[in-house]
């Protein structure tokens, strides 16, 4: 569109043609020459019809309106792939070359239309990571920070995590992955299992609880070989 500002002068719209490939965009011709294309919404809002006289100032208004509309559509496409935080959307729109003013206008519109809600996003992402991916709350907390969520939003989201569910996931993960190794060498298996759970973001207190219960599951004889002190986490 920048190149178009150099070539367009005042003139009269003599033809409006719907694009074949993109159905909601229209090509506009001024004085029988192709001038620019706009989204259907802009066509309607700016009252662009055959016979309309376009001045350079009017064209600038159209250009700005078209840029806002395109930024909005780009954001909607990003959200159609997956939910995103405001921070993520701002970053992607910046990558696409939109100026701060356009990015701010776009996010404000998305908020008003309820397409973005960081509080809800934090809660949904937390539940998805905890329930579907079986990550620990420390993992989720770091991910939410990385996505630009506010501290209070992170706290509220993590408050929704059921401790019993988190424990069950951690226990099941280790039991399925290391149960054979625990039967052969409980000390070696413990080290591997603790490291595995810590990397997935489970807290040290929860990991210790899982280790204790695994020992009980394999018999009291193995418990003497297990170190359940907080110092046992120093190697991780």
The confidence score (pLDDT) of residue 7 equals 57
The answer to whether 94 touches 103, Cβ cutoff 8 Å, is: yes
Q: By three-state DSSP, how is residue 90 classified?
A: helix
Q: How far apart are CA 101 and CA 236, in angstroms?
A: 46
Q: How far apart are CA 162 and CA 146, in angstroms?
A: 23
The confidence score (pLDDT) of residue 222 equals 45
List strand residue ranges (DSSP E) for the chain, in order. 11-18, 25-30, 33-39, 53-54
Q: How far apart are CA 72 and CA 103, in angstroms?
A: 9
The gap from C-alpha 175 to its chain's centroid, in whole angstroms, comes to 32
Token pair for 215:
């020992």
The helix or strand, by DSSP H or E, that contains position 231, with its residue range, turns out to be none
Looking at 1.10.287.130, 1.10.10.10, 1.10.3720.10, 3.40.50.970, the CATH number of the domain 2-112 comes to 1.10.10.10
| pLDDT, tens digit, 9 for 90 and up, residues 130-175 | 999 999 999 999 999 999 999 999 999 999 999 999 999 999 999 9
Q: pTM of the prediction?
A: 0.75
Q: Which residues of the chain have pLDDT under 70?
A: 1-9, 218-236
CA nearest 154: which of 163, 145, 167, 146?
145
Q: How far apart are CA 183 and CA 207, in angstroms?
A: 19
The answer to whether 214 touches 193, Cβ cutoff 8 Å, is: yes
- Sorted by sequence, the CB contacts under 8 Å of residue 66 that are 6+ apart come out as 1, 38, 39, 42
């Amino acid at each position: 569109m920048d190149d178009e500002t150099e070539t367009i002068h005042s003139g009269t719209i003599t033809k409006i043609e719907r694009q074949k490939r993109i159905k909601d965009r229209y090509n506009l011709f001024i004085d029988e020459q192709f001038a620019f294309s706009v989204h259907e919404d802009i066509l309607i809002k700016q009252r662009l019809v055959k016979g309309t006289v376009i001045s350079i100032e009017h064209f600038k208004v159209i250009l700005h309106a078209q840029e806002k509309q395109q930024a909005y559509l780009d954001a909607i496409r990003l959200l159609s792939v997956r939910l995103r935080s405001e921070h993520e959307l701002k970053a992607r729109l910046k990558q696409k070359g939109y100026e701060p003013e356009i990015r701010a206008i776009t996010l404000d519109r998305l908020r008003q239309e309820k397409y973005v809600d960081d509080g809800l996003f934090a809660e949904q992402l937390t539940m998805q990571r905890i329930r579907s991916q079986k990550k620990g709350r420390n993992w989720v907390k770091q991910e939410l920070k990385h996505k630009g969520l506010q501290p209070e939003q992170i706290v509220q989201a993590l408050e929704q995590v059921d401790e019993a569910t988190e424990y069950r996931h951690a226990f099941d993960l280790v039991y399925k992955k290391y149960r054979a190794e625990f039967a052969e060498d409980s000390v070696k298996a413990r080290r591997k299992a603790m490291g595995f759970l810590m990397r997935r973001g489970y807290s040290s207190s929860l990991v210790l609880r899982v280790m204790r219960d695994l020992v009980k599951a394999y018999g009291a004889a193995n418990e003497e070989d297990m170190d359940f002190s907080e110092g046992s986490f120093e190697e991780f």
